[in-house]
Structure 1
Amino acid sequence: MRLAIFSDVHGNLPAIERMLTDAGAVDGYICLGDTVNYGPWSNECADLVASLPNVVSLRGNHEEYFLQGRYFGNHSIAREFFSVCYETFDRLDAISNLPSTYTLNGFVFSHTIKDQYIFADTPISLECNYVIGHSHRQFKISQPPFILYNPGSVGQNRQYINVINYLVADIDDMTFDLRSVLYDERVVIREMLRRHYPDTCISYYAKRPRL
């Protein structure tokens, strides 16, 4: 059985549509959270993820912000994004009962571990096998007998804004294929302009490095 596993769509409808096309025929999906916020299509992305066949969708910190009605972080630009996106979000029912973890074949799937931003070089002692998102970076950490995968971000790659990262797993033998595909991020910026996003938010996307 093959599963497409992805995280951090962040309201980027063109990116998740491109990912789904690239993944092709799979037997199911695992979404690791943060489907909403930042991009202009939080409602549409929540709908699309919920409509996927055999999908397990988890709660990320941005779903939690939307459910609580406030952004709990200290980043000023992130606060501006939240103000714009939360104002038009009307799919709270779709995200209100999402679990925080899912276990399958000896792997724990979650948005992150203990609310940490975990990167490839983060000092961490694995206590089991994990697949996590949250840090918007694609990597693998091997600590035999355990392993951790991060598929990276679909909708807001923090290294190259025009790159979509995700992974495809073969559940029968638990092999993981980390994947990357390009898309046209200018579509997102044009929609932000059309919806009158603050200049600081538009500049955040416009000035990110491209591959």
Structure 2
Amino acid sequence: MQIAIFSDVHGNLPALEVVLNDIEERGIHQKFCLGDLVDFAPWGNEVIEKIKNLNIPCLMGNHDERIAFDIPVIPLTKHSEEETAARFLAIDHSKKYITKENKKYLSELPFHLKLNYKIGKKHWNIQLVHSSLKSNDTYLYESENDNIFIDLLNDSQSDVVIMGHTHLSFKKYFDGKWAINSGSVGRSREENRLASYVILTLDEDNITPEIIQLEYPLEEVAQKIEESEIPNYYASFLRNEKLSVF
């Protein structure tokens, strides 16, 4: 039994299509999205419509919530002045161009999702969150104290908790249980900038996670950003050019 989990598409349709094609080629039928479909690349509506049309269960990321309910943008101290200015413009672009129907779809997404799969005599509990159980805007990095992830596993009463939000993939093992970040499909903060997702392989005895990272037509995406009203900052970010980012 295999399950594919991905997150943080951020309007990057070409990256999403590469990930979905890879999942299909592997013959994986169970797939889930952890949210943040919009902002920073020009295909916000197209990404939403693809997720809708494929009936992929999806969580409400913090960016989805902001666009759905027109929540004001609050500057983050970790962002440079350059990124802060670009962020305001990019989110305003989404608020302007995401359709009313698609905003309604975003507004109805669940906050988190608990899965239970029975393999033989074993029931596996898998907790999906955008960033944590209580917030979709909490930054949990691989460097956090292990107790944070152990508490999350205990609070959710799960064998695996999978999150996104930080755009940095990792997997941490705790005595038979896993805390995993799937990374980002469309706006990776990793050095390689590849589209990232996670495959869970379940059998009666174990859950085995694998982080998959894929190339996609990144330069094509960067050029489309530059042709749009979205700040060129996000094209430079994808190219991993030197920027004032955290």
Question: What TM-score does the superposition give when structure 2 sets the normalisation length?
Answer: 0.77
Aligned partner of 1:19 in structure 2 is 19
Residue number among 85, 89, 106 corresponding to 2:125 in the alignment: 106
Residues 131-170 of structure 1 correspond to what in structure 2 (within 5 A)? 131-160=162-191, 162-170=193-201
RMSD of the alignment, in Å?
2.0
Per the alignment, residue 63 of structure 2 pairs with 62
Deviation digits for residues 96-129 of structure 1, max 9, x if unmatched?
2110111113121010114321111112242313
CA distance in 2, matches of 1:112, 1:95: 17
Post-superposition offset of 1:85:
2.1
Deviations 1:76-105 (A, max 9, x none): 122221012221111112212110111113
Once the 2 structures are TM-superposed, how far is the Cα of residue 145 of structure 1 from its aligned partner? Answer: 4.7
* Identical positions, percent: 27
Structure with larger Rg: 2
Deviation at 1:200, TM superposition (A): 3.5
Q: 2:150 aligns with which of 107, 113, 126?
A: 126
1:140 is paired with a residue of what secondary structure?
strand
Q: 1:29 to 1:137 in 2, by over 3 A?
A: same
Give runs of aligned pairs for residues 1-211 of structure 1, distance below 5 A: 1-23=1-23, 24=25, 25-53=27-55, 55-75=56-76, 76=84, 77-90=86-99, 91-104=102-115, 105-113=124-132, 114=135, 115-123=137-145, 124-127=148-151, 128=153, 129-160=160-191, 162-173=193-204, 174-208=207-241
Distance in 1 (alpha carbons) for counterparts of 2:109 and 2:96: 21
Measure, in 1, the Cα distance between the counterparts of 2:38 and 2:58: 12
DSSP 3-state at the match of 1:78: helix
CA offset at residue 207 of structure 1? 4.2
- Work out whether residues 80 and 201 of structure 1, in 8 Å CA contact, stay in contact via their aligned partners in 2: no
Amino acid aligned to 1:126: I
Name the amino acid aligned to 1:72: V
Q: Distance in 2 between matches of 1:3 and 1:98?
A: 20
In 2: Cα distance, 1:164 partner to 1:206 partner: 13
Q: Which runs of 5+ in 2 are unaligned?
A: 77-83, 116-123, 154-159
Name structure 1 gaps, 5 residues minimum.
Answer: none
Shift of 1:193: 2.1
Q: Which amino acid in the other structure matches residue 141 of structure 2?
A: F
Deviates more, 1:22-31 or 1:138-147: 138-147
Report the alpha carbon displacement of residue 176 of structure 1 after superposing the two structures with TM.
Answer: 1.8
Normalised by the length of structure 1, the TM-score is 0.89
In 2, distance between residues paired with 1:97 and 1:188? Answer: 29
Matched positions, count: 208
Q: CA deviation at 1:27?
A: 1.4
Deviates more, 1:142-151 or 1:100-109: 142-151
